[in-house]
Amino acid sequence: MGNFFLAIALILGFLTLLCLYRGVFGPTVLDRIISISVIGTKTTIILALIGLIYGRMDMFVDISIAYALLNFIATLASAKFLLTRKSIVPGANFFKERGIK
């Protein structure tokens, strides 16, 4: 059973590397933010799996909770920041030029 959890954790690590491609080469800033959010969700699961593999579930669950909360706050903070600094994103004012609102 430990081998199964190890295989699942390795698969999730490989998917994290795939998502990191979008984080590095993403065309806009928002693509990078999505990529970091997805990586954070995967990391929460990987931490719980590590706790199960090591047999210390009671300790690693708390770290996992903290990681989930931090991931949520980081995503909301960057979204709020982008609402006030609109000039960062390339291709801005697309809707205003066409009169769509």
* Residues found near other proteins in the complex (CB under 8 A): 1, 4, 8, 11-12, 15, 18-19, 21-22, 28, 30-31, 33-35, 37-38, 41-42, 44-45, 48-49, 52, 57-58, 61-62, 64-65, 68-69, 72, 75-76, 78-80, 82-83, 86, 88-89, 91-96
CA pair distance 86, 92, nearest whole angstrom = 7
DSSP code of residue 53:
H
The dihedral region occupied by 61, where left means phi > 0, alpha psi between -120 and 50, and beta the remainder, is alpha
**Closest CB to other proteins among 31 and 54?**
31
Work out how close the CB of 86 gets to other proteins at its nearest, in angstroms, rounded to a whole number.
5
Minimum CB separation of residue 91 from other proteins in Å reads 5
Residue 54 C-beta: closest distance to other proteins, Å:
13
Q: Which residues contact 23 (CB under 8 A, 6 or more apart)?
A: 31, 32, 35, 36, 39
Query: 3-state DSSP call for residue 70?
Result: helix
